[in-house]
């Protein structure tokens, strides 16, 4: 597809005036992959992809993240079984757990006989951002060589099990999992919110957001109607036909998720003050 077709696939509308250089066209065509072949990923390739991840920008060159590489099938399946609704995790030849890491900085201060004076909410945010940037760069590199991936935030829903499984010490916590493998097939491109909702010029302005999101709901419904099985929190709200993206998002956001996460982080040594 040419650039205009890629943009229409991503947004469901034309984006007049936008030009797509060939170098970024693959990024616009990125798709989530949830089914993998049995073909293995060579260590040599995985190491190169991890090197690409470590080439991502980091806050003040502190590099406050770690990655746990999992290849052991029973251990990967254990995580898939805990989550319960994502059986494709167990089919991935590699599962990566991306972790925020304050511990390394604390140990560096110990090595040099200095106090670690930055155990706070800002440091937590920096560890999460460093980790997320690296994971995003890994995903882009993996896509470039034909691999597919799927981020898994649900590892945080079972953090009290995942952390001991991985031997995560105090100061280290999982940000997200990432299943990776050779795709069995390519899923359709996921339609995203229009730039007019997400991109703000000079000042934040969401005054037109309700109308723009309503139009987005209609475009998504026309392309791929939301099935009842895809509705969020059916134990709280009744199932019904015609639910759009925005209402489904509201259904999810109206019920607390991972409310014990902050308490868990405090048990792992994060102050968060």
> What mean pLDDT, rounded, does the chain reach?
94
Q: CA gyration radius for the chain? A: 21
Where residue 218 falls among pLDDT bands split at 50, 70, 90? very high
pLDDT digits (tens, 9 = 90+) for 22-35: 999 999 999 999 99
222: pLDDT strictly greater than 80: yes
233: pLDDT strictly greater than 90: no
Neighbours of 18 (CB within 10 A): 13
CB burial readout 35-54, b (16+ within 10 A) else e: bbeeeebeeeebeebbebbe
Domain boundaries, the chain: 31-187, 224-273
What pLDDT, on the 0 to 100 scale, is given for residue 129?
Answer: 98
* Residue range 88-112: mean pLDDT, rounded: 97
118: pLDDT strictly greater than 90: yes
Neighbours of 100 (CB within 10 A): 26
CB burial readout 252-269, b (16+ within 10 A) else e: eeeeeeeeeeeeebeebe
Residue keyed to tokens 């972790």: 99
Its CATH architecture, for the domain 31-187, is 3-Layer(aba) Sandwich (3.40)
What pLDDT, on the 0 to 100 scale, is given for residue 229?
Answer: 56
pLDDT digits (tens, 9 = 90+) for 142-187: 999 999 999 999 999 999 999 999 999 999 999 999 999 999 999 8
What are the residues whose beta carbons fall under 8 Å from the beta carbon of 179, sequence distance 6 or more?
A: 33, 34, 36, 88, 89, 92, 94, 95, 149, 150, 152
SS3 93: coil
Counting beta carbons within 10 angstroms of the beta carbon of residue 123, is it exposed (0 to 12), middle (13 to 18) or buried (19 or more)?
buried
Between helix 73-83 and helix 159-166 the angle, nearest 10°, is 170
What are the residues whose beta carbons fall under 8 Å from the beta carbon of 107, sequence distance 6 or more?
A: none
Contact 239, 220 (CB under 8 A): no
234: pLDDT strictly greater than 90: no
């Amino acid at each position: 597809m040419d650039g205009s077709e890629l943009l229409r696939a991503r947004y469901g509308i034309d984006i007049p005036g936008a030009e797509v250089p060939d170098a970024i066209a693959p990024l616009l065509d990125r798709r989530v992959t949830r089914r993998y072949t049995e073909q293995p990923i060579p260590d040599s390739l995985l190491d190169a992809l991890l090197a690409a991840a470590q080439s991502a920008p980091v806050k003040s060159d502190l590099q406050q993240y770690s990655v746990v590489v999992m290849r052991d099938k029973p251990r990967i399946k254990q995580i898939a079984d805990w989550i319960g609704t994502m059986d494709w995790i167990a089919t991935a030849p590699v599962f990566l757990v991306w972790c925020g890491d304050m511990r390394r900085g604390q140990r560096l201060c110990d090595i040099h006989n200095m106090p670690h004076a930055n155990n706070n909410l800002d440091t937590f945010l920096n560890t999460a951002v460093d980790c997320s940037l690296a994971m995003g760069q890994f995903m882009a590199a993996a896509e470039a060589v034909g691999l597919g991936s799927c981020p898994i935030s649900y590892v945080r829903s079972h953090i009290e099990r995942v952390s001991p499984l991985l031997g995560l010490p105090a100061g280290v916590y999982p940000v997200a999992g990432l299943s990776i493998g050779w795709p069995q097939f390519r899923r359709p491109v996921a339609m995203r919110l229009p730039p007019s909702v997400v991109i703000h010029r000079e000042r934040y302005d969401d005054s037109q957001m309700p109308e723009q999101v309503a139009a987005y709901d209609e475009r998504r419904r026309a392309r791929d109607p939301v099935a009842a099985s895809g509705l969020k929190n059916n134990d709280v709200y009744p199932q019904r036909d015609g639910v759009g993206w925005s209402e489904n998002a509201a259904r999810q956001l109206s019920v607390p998720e991972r409310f014990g996460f902050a308490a868990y982080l405090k048990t792992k040594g994060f102050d968060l003050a």
